[in-house]
Amino acid sequence: MKASALTPLHILSRVGAALLGGYCFVWGVTTLGIVLATALGMSFSEARTLFYLLAFLLFTAVFCWAFAAASHGRAWLVLAGGGAAMTLLGWLLAH
Amino acid sequence: MLQTFRQSMAWLHTWFGLVLGFVLMAVFFFGSLSVFDREIDRWALPETRFEPQPMPSYDNLLADIFAGMEAEEEELEAARKRIGGELPAQLQPTGWGAYTTHRDPVLDVFAEYSVPNPKDPFDHAHGHLTLDPRIGAILPHDSLKIGSEFFYPLHYSLHIEWKQLGTWIVGVAALIMLVALVSGVIIHRRLFRELFTFRPGKRTQRSSLDLHNLTGVVALPFHFIFALSGLTIFAFLYLPVGETVLTTPVQAHLMEEAVSRGLPFEPAGEAAAIASVDAMMVEAKKRWAERGMPGEVGFLWVTHPGDRNSFVSIFRAGSDRVAFVGQGVHFDAVSGRVLYEEPPPTVIAGINEFLTGLHLQHFEHWPLRWLYLLGGLLGCTCIATGFIFFTEKRKRNLNDATLVRWVDALAVTAVTGMLVATGAILVANRLLPAELPHRSGWEQTVFWMAWLLTLAHALWRGRAVSGCLSPAWREQCWAIALLAVTAVALNWITTGDHLLKTVLTDRYWPVAGFDLALLASAAIALRTAFMLRTRERAAARIEHKELLAMEVARG
Amino acid sequence: MAEWLSLALAVGSGFLGMAWLALSLNVHWQQVRARALPPVKTLRALAAVALSVSLLLCLWADHPSIAVLVWVMAISGSALSVAMLLAWRPRWLKPVVVWAC
């Protein structure tokens, strides 16, 4: 990514991908993770505690990745898109 | 985002660190003060200056207190708005409890009342009292515990209660703290080689960066774990998956848990008298001793009080370990027999208990508490030197002049301004008349007004000349010293508890410790003020010489 | 051994460990002994031992969950003290490597 392409809009998009996309991604991992863990026999509160413990480590990692990703479009796709997909899958499996 | 990974991380660290640094400064500083929150409460409320007390008798003291409790007026108002109607004269209590630690002379007592026709099935109105457990005397509602009810909530919520917005802002700041630590390590090329490097004699830009790196790396585990544990404590708020997308599994789980533990989820609707809770406390202590962990009662909670399905939960105070309450024993309230004794936690629950207890620190270990204070102050220093490095680096570039001037003013406000506001609320606490209506509101107003004044002062006195620090730093250091010494003097004058008394003749460390800390702060502030004046004069002399040299070269 | 003594020794041991670690770096060794090179392996081995002893002393004094926290914070404080000494009074660290002077 060329540094010359650093317009305010680009920066805003990266920040959005990192914060909102990252949040969506963590939400998705937490939802799907809890559903899968409970399916494997873990109690609900155990599973929730486990994913709460991992959530912010994961958020830190994907936040940094959003700024290292080759394009902000890719960051949005992976984080927001992936997060939405995981949340949907988790919701479907739970109901 | 930029050409290399390292450059992207540097951009991230600089700009997010700058913006959220202002929030993190407050979070770290008031978090550090919160280590000694109960000691600050003693200073602010002289009528509570006695020795810590254990959990008092329920049967002879607490039972009457609970029976006479009501939801607070603000809570009732908010509840009326939520249900859009009137409330009955007496609300049905769904739970009442008491909480104490090894540092509490006064006892915190709470109650939860159910709200009729609620939109949310868990909707409650709350009541809260503080009492002297020796005699059951209730503290006036308007007594602000400056430590545990002002500084502590300030550090996790910024006192912005609307829709929990303040807690969310602090959450984002904590996440950025983690990101800043990770990105900081990535961009710091010679982390190990420069681990002990601090060159105070060099230019401000170099020495501030040295100190920033030193304070960041030397306490890196502390900074990382505190940010992470803070986020984990509020994870139920930040990631409420159980209340949104997974409500069905949660309901099933709560039902199943209630059945397996024998703890009734719903009230029966029939009235029944409660058995001796004091006997239950004795039984709980006996069971803890049998498990090799004798202890005191830290937390007591009665669910569905007055109902046939009521149960009493008694938890052990974790003064000797990191997990702060645990080993709960649950009793049937009517018969007094044990319904359920909590087993040792699972690995995952144990890790969570450890992280939570580490952050909330109710353990009895004074050296560790003081080390926590050191860690917190190192965090503040890291952030403050970050601001100084940012402004110093950009001062020479005239294009950045406005940015530098604003960042400088905001940095002064966030660092010295914050300390001025802290001194101001302590002085106000001693000066405001005791009978003043809404006294606690006035104390808080003084705090915020003082802080706002420091911003105005910083903007007015700001200068963005290379090699010169704004005189606002020095002037606010003087204000800090003055306020701190005044606070100590006022404590003496208004309560008679001067240092010779609290250290020597009638020893009372909470107040003595805080007075001494205030005097130490004044000394540091004064020394800093003198040091800054010396630098200012040296810089002025250099500037003067340069101007002369230019004149000579021209003439 | 009394708890306070164990903790005091733990802090002392932590300080020595951090001091030896710092002096194993060229730039700091030369603040204490001009124009020489540090015996890196020896110093780092000594540092490892001192820091381990510090941890053991912490574990002696308190419940393990607390002891680990005390140790981590104590060695952070030690590292800071060593850095401050190197910045303002490097000569005061000479006794720590007395055999090399």
Residue A38 lies in a domain: yes
Amino acid at B297: V
Q: Given strand B297-303, what is the order of strands in its sheet?
A: B137-138, B124-132, B107-114, B93-99, B297-303, B311-317, B325-332, B338-341
Domain range for C89 is 3-100
Residue B306 forms beta bridges with which residues? none
- CB neighbours of residue B140 within 10 Å: 11
Kindly report the nearest CA distance between residue B391 and chain A, in angstroms.
Answer: 22
pLDDT of res. B74:
83
pLDDT above 60 (res B315): yes
Distances (CA, A) of B261 to B140, B214, B348: 39, 51, 20
CA distance B42 to chain A (A): 35
Q: Residue B465 pLDDT > 60, yes or no?
A: no
C69/B214 touch (CB, cutoff 8 Å), yes or no: no
Could you tell me the residue range of the domain that residue A72 belongs to?
A: 17-94
Judged by CB atoms closer than 8 Å, whether chains meet at A64 and B250 is answered as: no
Q: Do chains B and A touch (3 or more CB pairs under 8 A)?
A: yes
Of B7, B245, B352, the CB nearest to A87: B245
Lookup: tokens for B86: 């009137």
Q: Inter-chain contact A2–B11, Cβ cutoff 8 Å?
A: no
Q: What is the pLDDT of residue B228?
A: 97
Per-residue pLDDT, A2: 46
Q: Which residues of chain C neighbour B198 with C-beta distances below 8 Å?
A: 83-84, 86-87
User: Domain for residue A7, yes or no?
Assistant: no
Burial of B173 (0-12, 13-18, 19+ CB in 10 A): buried
Are B183 and A55 an interchain contact pair (Cβ–Cβ within 8 Å)? no
| Residue numbers in A near B241 (CB within 8 A) | 27, 30-31, 34, 48
DSSP B210-278: HHHHHHHHHTHHHHHHHHHHHHHHTHHHH--GGGTTTHHHHHHHHHHHHHHHT--SS--S-B-----HH
pLDDT over threshold 70, residue B361 = yes
Q: Which chain C residues have a beta carbon less than 8 Å from that of B215?
A: 80
Task: Name the 3-class secondary structure at C92.
Answer: helix
B550 Cα to chain C: minimum distance (Å): 36
* Consecutive H or E run containing A76: helix A72-76
Task: Return d(Cα B20, Cα B115) in angstroms, integer.
Answer: 39
What's the DSSP call for residue B307? B
- Integer Cα distance of B349 and A50 in angstroms: 8
User: pLDDT band for position C81 (50/70/90)?
Assistant: very high
SS3 label, residue B95? strand
pLDDT in tens, A34-90: 999 999 989 999 999 999 999 999 999 999 999 999 888 999 999 999 999 999 999
Residue A10 is assigned to a structural domain of this protein? no
Structure tokens, B297: 């009662």
Is C83 within 8 Å of chain B by CB?
A: yes
CA geometry: angle B269, B274, B275, nearest 5 deg: 145
Closest CA to A90 of A21, A44, A54: A44
Verify whether the Cβ–Cβ distance B348 to A94 is below 8 Å: no
Residue B75: pLDDT band (50, 70, 90) is confident
Helix axes B204-218, C64-88, angle to 10 degrees: 160
On chain B, the residues whose CB falls within 8 A of the CB of C62 are 365
Measured between beta carbons, which residues in chain B are less than 8 angstroms from residue C77? Answer: 371, 374
* Residues B197, C54 contacting (CB under 8 angstroms): no
Residues in chain C with CB shorter than 8 Å from the CB of B360 are none
Residue A64 and residue B183: Cβ atoms within 8 Å? Answer: yes
Task: Give the model confidence (pLDDT) of B236-260 as tens digits.
Answer: 999 999 888 888 888 888 888 888 8
Contacts of residue C69 in chain B, CB cutoff 8 Å? 322, 358, 368
- The alpha-carbon gap from C101 to the nearest alpha carbon of chain B, in Å, equals 22
Whether the Cβ atoms of residue B511 and residue B499 lie closer than 8 Å to each other: no
Q: In this structure, is residue A33 part of a structural domain?
A: yes
Pairwise CA distance, residues B23 & B25, whole Å? 5
How much is the pLDDT for C101? 64
Domain count within chain A:
1
Q: A–C contact (≥3 CB pairs within 8 Å)?
A: no
Mutation pick from B196, B206, B378 vs chain C, by most beta carbons of C within 10 Å, is B196
Q: Which residues make Cβ contacts (< 8 Å) with residue A54, sequence separation at least 6?
A: A29, A33
What pLDDT is recorded for position B202? 85
Per-residue pLDDT, averaged over B345-365, amounts to 92
Contacts of B151 (CB under 8 A, 6+ apart): B30, B33, B34, B37, B40, B422
From CA A61, how far away is CA B202, in angstroms rounded? Answer: 36
Average pLDDT score, chain B: 91
Asked whether residue A78 is domain-assigned, the answer is yes
Per residue in B441-450, pLDDT (tens digit) is 999 999 999 9
Instruction: Identify which of B221, B321, B374 has the shortest CB distance to residue C77.
Output: B374
Q: What DSSP element (H or E) covers B31?
A: helix B5-34
Chain A residue with CA closest to B2: the answer is A3
B neighbours by CB contacts (3+ pairs under 8 Å): A, C
Query: Is A67 close to B11, i.e. CB distance below 8 A?
Result: yes
| B175:A59 CB<8 A | yes
The pLDDT-based confidence of B466 (bands split at 50, 70, 90) is very low
Delimit the domains of chain B by residue range: 1-45+145-247, 50-144+248-360, 395-555
Task: Quote the CA–CA distance of B178 and B41 in Å, as a whole number.
Answer: 31
DSSP string for B232-244: HHTHHHH--GGGT
Classify each residue of B47-86 as buried b or exposed e, where b means 16 or more C-beta atoms within 10 Å of its C-beta.
ebbeeeeebbebeebbbebbeebbbbeebbeebeeeeeee
Does the pLDDT value for residue A12 go beyond 90? yes
Q: How many domains does chain C have?
A: 1
Contacts A–B by Cβ distance under 8 A? 100
User: Is the pLDDT confidence value at C52 over 70?
Assistant: yes
Contact residues on chain B for A3, CB-CB shorter than 8 A: 2-3, 7
Q: Which 8-state DSSP code applies to residue B289? A: H
